[in-house]
Amino acid sequence: MTAQGAAARVWHRDSWGPLGALETAVKAVAFACAYAAALAAGGPAGLPGGARLAILVLLVVAETGLLLAIGDRWIEREVTAAVFVLFNNAAHLAMIVAVLRGVGAGWILAFALLMLSGELVKLVFLRTTGFTVRDAGTGTLVGLTAGYAAIYAAVALLAAVG
């Protein structure tokens, strides 16, 4: 192993700047909303229908990607991102449980709008910094982030009208 390869495997903390801090703060509020929603949901767990089923499917798709992101954060060895992705996964799992337990639409809408806001901040961050991850260029990261933004926008719309 080269010295550069060894250095790449050391855990470290990057500076994400004001946009990174804003994204983290907005999403942290979304996470708290998801955890509270899971606690507030009092009904028995059951598979929903209609718009709620669509919301559930979208949240499971988002969670699947976030599970994969854990491996990416492990490879990158950036402490803040690694911890953040664990809380992000826990929040999505909490919201999935909340939907399965019939939580009110307001909780879902709040979570989705906060996550959408965080993704929009992340898009600005990516566009202004040119941030890349290994072989994934900024364009790829913008595409993935836009995909998540679309998921949260759809969840918000479904919660609002469903």
Range of the domain at 44: 16-161
Domain-embedded: residue 24: yes
Q: pLDDT tens digits, residue range 123-149?
A: 999 999 988 888 888 999 999 999 999
- Looking at the structure of the chain, the number of domains it has is 1
Please state which of the ranges 6-10, 31-35, 105-109, 115-119 shows the lowest mean pLDDT. Answer: 6-10
Q: What is the largest CA-CA distance in the chain?
A: 56
What percentage of the chain has pLDDT greater than the value 70? 95
Domain-embedded: residue 6: no
Domain-embedded: residue 11: no
Domain-embedded: residue 140: yes
* Angle (deg, nearest 10), helices 17-40 and 105-129: 160
Domain-embedded: residue 8: no
Collect all residues with Cβ–Cβ distance below 8 Å to 18 and sequence separation of at least 6: none
Q: pLDDT tens digits, residue range 57-105?
A: 999 999 999 999 999 899 989 899 999 999 999 999 999 999 999 999 9
Q: What is d(CA 56, CA 51) in angstroms, rounded to the nearest whole number?
A: 9
Distance (Å) of CA 56 to CA 23, 26, 86, 99, 159: 24, 22, 20, 7, 11
Comparing CA positions, the residue from 122, 121, 98, 125 lying closest to residue 110 is 98
What's the confidence (pLDDT) of residue 8?
59
Domain-embedded: residue 5: no
